[in-house]
Amino acid sequence: MTSDPRTAGASRSASASPVPTSSSDAPPTSASAPSDDVLEVDVIVLGGGPVGENAAQYAIEGTGLTAAIVEGERMGGECSYWACMPSKALLRPLDVRAAAAHLPGITTPEIDVEELLARRDDWVSHYDDTGQVQWAEGAGLTVVRGHGALSGEREVTVRPADGAGSDGAPAGDDAPRVLRARRAVVLATGSEPVIPAPYRELAPWTSRDATGVKEVPGRLLIVGGGVVACEAATWMRALGSEVTMLVRGERLLPSAEPEASEHVRTGLEAIGVRVITGASAQHATRDGVSQDAAEESGIGRVHGGEVRVHIAGAAGTGTAGAGAQDGGARGGNSGEEDGDFTADEILVATGRRPRLQDVGLEAVGLSPNDVRGGALPDWLRAVGDASGEAPLTHWGKYRARVIGEEIRDAALADVEPTPPPEPVAEGRAVPQVVFTDPQVASVGLIESAARDAGFDVVVAQVPFEGSAGSALLRDDASGVAKIVVDAVTRRLLGATFAGPDAAEIVHAATVAIVGEIPVDVLRHAVPSYPTASELWLRLLEELPREYRHAAPQGRRE
């Protein structure tokens, strides 16, 4: 990572002291370019986002090994410019404003749209990746511009990326370039948005347009009810859009605890967002749209004329929104005439899929299913969104560090002692924060998922404002705190917090799950008074009294 915290790249590498990397008859470890202009390195990473940066850094740090990162857009990837960083740059001032609005003795700050977008631009380095490139080169990594795809075993061919140079994105070399890896190739190509059929011809906004917003539409339809949809609804409403969410399912945030989802819906409705559930699109049209409309207008600008979406089976709220008539109460008819919704722009936030269709898997006899199933040759690894694991930057970076170290240890196995493998956190210990109002912070299994997985569980639940510290955050704070405990081992399986600043509480639950700490031991981790962490004491006290003592002998095994 550069010294500027406004990037989401890898952590700064330690000073590298070259050491022998292989037996004496192995090829040299410095990056080399033979006469046929093939660049040879030890490790090639496809994708220059935070995950790819971590994989490359950890694969070579402290050694004489070499690595190249191939990136077709900006070094720093989706997270730095179009996802985590810009969305949180937009949401944090709104969180402060909301807190002030709920605390007597302080005047609620005004929203300055121009300044809010300027803050976003600062935190994405004005879409300039110079700092990220400098970090990578300083860590000993070779940056190769262009779209890389497998063209053979341990071989990558790099060509100019589609759209290179557009919207200020750096362009690569015009001529194809061949790279060969002595050790490994890592796929860190991220993911791409999924656009359902009814919306594909509308040139809809994707998450990039929402985080990169330059032109605020007066009326905005958001299709989807997941994290991106909920967060975007929050900042687009604050920027001045009338927002209506068309949610196919019966609730927002379907992977969260239902109680937390309900609090998020209440929070969105309180700021004027209209939430329509059970909304299945029958057809959608738009005026004045060509296939190139999005490219012609640019990211974050309105891509065409008025949008019309016809849906069936909707249940909504009476909150005014895009194209709204006098809607009914929650759970009733949406009130939209003939099920039609109109808006100036539409954001489709219906999920993402690993970007594996254009990385050359067929050149080595593989398919995307092989990647998702882990059926890869020993020289090829996948990490981050591309692997099909949890599509979260922090989890991808963690897995990249693990994989990078595995590549490094394998390369050095013949010349220095290889440390025993470190324990790796199980996939269920993945934390996530949704930065809505209230925030939702969770880790591990929700109650229904734990039961579906066959666990015998005990659940404790308290109001988020149920401790002095959490109640002090806002005088009218509301939310929920919930933990799921394995009744056999009495260890934590999952935790969810929905409330103000919930993001700052969840890490303790992550530590408890990874450390497999039984709840009778957690009782002795005393929270400070008065802080929101006191919720832990309330939750543990809600468990059966016998859980305050160690489980019968053998039950923790």
3 state SS for 306-372: CEEEEEECCEECCCCCCCCCCCCCCCEECCCHHHEEEECEEEECCCEEECCCCCCHHHHCCCHHHHH
Sorted by sequence, the CB contacts under 8 Å of residue 452 that are 6+ apart come out as none
Contacts of residue 206, Cβ cutoff 8 Å, sequence gap at least 6: 193, 195, 347, 348, 349
* CA angle at 473 for the pair 7 and 393, rounded to the nearest 5°: 25
Residue 177 three-state SS: strand
Per residue in 346-393, pLDDT tens?
999 999 999 999 999 999 999 999 999 999 999 999 999 999 999 999
Query: 3-class secondary structure for 254-305?
Result: CCCCHHHHHHHHHHHHHCCCEEEECCEEEEEEECCCCCCHHHHHCCCCCCCC
Indicate the DSSP class of residue 220: E
Query: What span, in angstroms and rounded, lies between the C-alpha atoms of 292 and 304?
Result: 10
For the chain, state the CA radius of gyration: 25
pLDDT at 424: 72
Give the residue among 375, 352, 379 at the shortest CA–CA distance from 150.
Answer: 379
Measured CA to CA, the distance from residue 438 to residue 72 in angstroms comes to: 37
Q: What is the pLDDT along the chain (557 residues), one digit of tens a residue?
A: 444 444 544 443 333 333 333 333 333 344 554 445 899 999 999 999 999 999 999 999 999 999 999 999 999 999 999 999 999 999 999 999 999 999 999 999 999 999 999 999 999 999 999 999 999 999 999 999 999 999 999 999 999 987 555 566 676 667 899 999 999 999 999 999 999 999 999 999 999 999 999 999 999 999 999 999 999 999 999 999 999 999 999 999 999 999 999 999 999 999 999 999 999 898 999 988 876 777 788 999 999 999 999 998 766 654 444 444 333 334 333 344 348 999 999 999 999 999 999 999 999 999 999 999 999 999 999 999 999 999 999 999 999 999 999 999 999 987 777 777 766 766 678 999 999 999 999 999 999 999 999 999 999 999 999 999 999 999 988 999 999 999 999 999 999 999 999 999 999 999 999 999 999 999 999 999 999 999 999 999 999 999 999 887 645 44
Please give the Cα distance from 30 to 434 (Å, whole number). 43
Strand-strand pairing, 191-193 and 352-354? antiparallel
Alpha-carbon gap, residue 136 to 541, rounded angstroms? 49
SS3 22: coil
167 SS3 class: helix
Q: Which residues are bridge partners to 147 per DSSP?
A: 159
- Token couple for 254: 């379907």
**Preceding omega of 530 cis (within 30 degrees of 0):** yes
The amino acid at residue 135 is W
CB-CB contact of 360 with 70 (8 Å): no
CA–CA separation, 520 and 480 (whole Å): 22
Q: What angle do the packed helices 227-239 and 84-101 form, to 10 degrees?
A: 60
What per-residue confidence (pLDDT) applies to 124?
A: 97
Q: Which pLDDT value is given to residue 309?
A: 96
Nearest to 50 by CA among 2, 105, 112: 2
Sign of CA dihedral 327, 331, 332, 336: positive
- Say how far apart CA 231 and CA 273 lie, in whole Å: 12
Secondary structure (H, E, C), 445-507: CCHHHHHHCCCCEEEEEEEHHHCHHHHCCCCCCCCEEEEEEECCCCEEEEEEEEECCHHHCHH
The dihedral sign for the CA sequence 121, 127, 133, 139:
positive
Residues 6 or more apart whose CB falls under 8 angstroms from that of 545 comprise: none
Which structure tokens are listed for 555?
Answer: 């039950």
pLDDT, residue 294, reads 72
Say if CB 437 and CB 426 are below 8 A apart.
no
H or E element in which residue 509 lies:
helix 506-514
Locate tokens 């971590």: which residue? Answer: 54
Model pLDDT, residue 21: 36
The token duo for 2 is 């550069």
Buried-state track 443-459, b at ≥16 Cβ within 10 A, e below 16: bbbbbebbeeeebebbb
Bridge partners (DSSP) listed for residue 294: none
CB atoms within 10 A of CB 543: 18
Count of beta carbons in the 10 Å neighbourhood of residue 278: 18
Q: Decide: helix, strand or coil at residue 537.
A: helix
By CB atoms closer than 10 A (0-12, 13-18, 19+), residue 402 is middle
